[in-house]
Amino acid sequence: MISRRGALGLLGGLAGSALLPAATLGAPVSARPPRLRPGDTVGLVAPASAVTLPEERDRALHWIRGMGLVPRLGAHTEDRHGYLAGTDADRAADLSAMFADPEIRAIFAVRGGWGGARILPLLDWPAIRSNPKLLIGYSDTTALHCAIAARCGFPTLHAPNAACSWEKTSWDSLWRIAFAADVPVQGGAAVEQAVGRPARTLVEGTARGRLLGGNLTILSTLMGTGWLPSFDGAILFLEDINEDPYRVDRMLQQLGLAGVMDRVSGVVFGQCTRCDLRDPDYAGFTLDDVLNQHLGDLRVPVVTGFNTGHVRSQLALPIGVPVELDAEARTLRMLEPAVA
């Protein structure tokens, strides 16, 4: 049996607006996925872009084994259909099968990219709803996180994809939430220097609510589709990559016009990696200008530069779990366990 320290050692060795109603925010989570234990079998799926390199697949297998878990690849994980990991029907079948299989204790996305939203209508939602399991991943996996929050109501984890670099900060936060069923305080000065953009408090205060969100591009793409949960009273978190400031401006404007910003109780804008233009002749708004314009006047606590997103050492964040945002300390404190 592998302890947290033992598993960490293994990991270190491997390193080189139509909104659906949801459960009342702040209310106890009605169903929790099972906690992970060493020796558990977990599914690896590719719900979006193709896994084009064998090294990517092998890296995912190594990381999962290093966690003390037993990986099982989905039947179509290594397929390729254009830029997707197989057809929509096959990718949906892989994910549905992992939820329905009683031997699978949790499910990791191997990678993100694009394609998760395409399979939402094809998933076996009764099977998913009846078998709560942690779905772990980020970026394009946001589409699946949001849909599960809306349709099923059990927690999932916005965390590195299986093929990402699982450094100590990421692994430790995953272990505390998924293995130990802990309720940690995440963020703050102790980890802020490990990531990209400096953390800032835009609006002071504390707030509580169900943690919802993910990749800004995917979230804005789903706006008005019926696949989003209610954001009433939520703590909204966002992140993105390779988006010019005007695009972030456009997407935040979309969320604002859809009424999302009027409904949330707090906002955490994580890392927006490579989102600043480096053209010396550029005379437009910077990313910080855009964030100040859209978030600085909100009457709820707001933090930017939180360590979530397309950065190394990102934290695992429990989607659908009530949390407390302390904007001055720039921390998120879980109020309930994500797993049983």
Catalytic residue annotation: 139, 239, 310
**Is residue 239 within a helix (H) or strand (E), and if so which, with residue range?**
strand 235-241
Strand order in the sheet with 322-326: 185-187, 331-334, 322-326, 206-215, 235-241, 266-273, 302-304, 200-203
Strand order in the sheet with 41-45: 70-73, 41-45, 104-109, 134-137, 156-158, 317-319
**Secondary structure class of 85 (helix, strand, coil):** coil
DSSP-derived secondary structure for 253-312: HHHHHTTHHHH-SEEEEEEEET-S---TT--S--HHHHHHHHHTT-SS-EEES-S-SSST
Residue type, 81: H
Q: How many CB atoms lie within 10 A of CB 104?
A: 19
| Burial class for 36, CB neighbours closer than 10 Å (0-12, 13-18, 19+) | buried
Residue type, 226: G
CA distance linking residue 98 with residue 131, whole number of Å: 10
CB 188 within 8 A of CB 330: yes
Residue closest to 227 by CA, chosen among 101, 123, 79: 123
Residue closest to 60 by CA, chosen among 47, 49, 46, 48: 46
Instruction: Please give the C-alpha separations between residue 129 and each of 71, 109, 208, 238, 249, in angstroms, as whole numbers.
Output: 23, 18, 26, 25, 35
In this structure, what DSSP letter does residue 193 have?
T
Residue closest to 87 by CA, chosen among 48, 59, 53: 48
